[in-house]
């Protein structure tokens, strides 16, 4: 399940609507190892295309280094589809490279659409997951220091 704060959802929608008809893309960083999503980072779509997106490579390096330095991970990787539904395309699946991220899709095909969907994409398999939009992460951890170090167990 993806639990995400309403202000982050609103920020993703604002970005998607601003860039329509081009696809919008970005990241919401969260503390290692698994979130919750905290810090919205709208990215440039280097392709500036209504049918394709790609993070600008230099911006990606800068943002990934920042996350590394902050002990953050890309908890959410989002993009918009501007003429099709909010579901991962074959292209999305073939490029999905963060097995621990929530891949969020929104569709701006219809202006009143509010479909905000989240998927795990691992080894070419798409698994949709429920999305819970919350006002705050009141009962969840708020910083990396509060999260037990599960990386050691995982490795």
Residue nearer to other proteins on the CB measure, 4 or 96: 96
Among 11, 70, 89, 141, binds other proteins (CB under 8 A): 89
Both tokens assigned to 20: 């329509």
Q: To the nearest whole angstrom, how small is the minimum distance from the Cβ of residue 134 to other proteins? A: 26
Q: To the nearest whole angstrom, how small is the minimum distance from the Cβ of residue 148 to other proteins? A: 18
Helix (H) / strand (E) element for 102: namely: strand 102-107
Q: To the nearest whole angstrom, how small is the minimum distance from the Cβ of residue 108 to other proteins? A: 11
Beta bridge mates, 120: 127
Can the peptide bond before residue 36 be classed as cis, meaning omega within 30 degrees of 0?
yes
Spatial CB neighbours of 54, under 8 Å, sequence gap ≥ 6: 25, 45, 46, 47
Q: To the nearest whole angstrom, how small is the minimum distance from the Cβ of residue 42 to other proteins? A: 13
Contact criterion met (CB below 8 Å) for 137 and 146: no
Q: To the nearest whole angstrom, how small is the minimum distance from the Cβ of residue 60 to other proteins? A: 6
Among 11, 34, 41, 64, binds other proteins (CB under 8 A): 64
Q: In what order do the strands lie in the sheet with 25-31?
A: 39-43, 25-31, 72-81, 102-107, 116-122, 125-129
Stretch of 8-16, 89-97, 128-136, 138-146 lying at the interface with other proteins (CB under 8 A): 89-97
Question: Which residues contribute to the site for other proteins (CB under 8 A)?
Answer: 23, 25, 43, 47, 49-55, 57-58, 60-61, 64, 77, 79, 81-84, 88-92, 95-100, 155
């Amino acid at each position: 399940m993806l639990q995400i704060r309403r202000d982050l959802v609103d920020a993703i929608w604002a970005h998607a609507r601003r860039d329509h008809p081009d696809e919008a893309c970005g990241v919401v960083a969260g503390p290692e190892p698994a979130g919750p999503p905290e810090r919205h980072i709208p990215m440039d779509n280097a392709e500036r295309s209504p049918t394709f997106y790609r993070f600008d490579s230099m911006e990606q390096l800068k943002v990934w280094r920042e996350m590394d330095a902050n002990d953050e991970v890309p908890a959410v990787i989002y993009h918009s589809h501007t003429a099709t539904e909010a579901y991962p395309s074959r292209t999305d699946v073939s490029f999905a490279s963060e097995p621990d991220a929530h891949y969020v899709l929104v569709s701006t095909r219809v202006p009143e659409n509010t479909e905000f969907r989240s998927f795990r994409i691992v080894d070419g398999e798409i698994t949709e997951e429920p999305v819970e939009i919350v006002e705050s992460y009141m009962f969840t951890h708020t910083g990396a220091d509060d999260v037990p170090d599960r990386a050691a167990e995982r490795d």
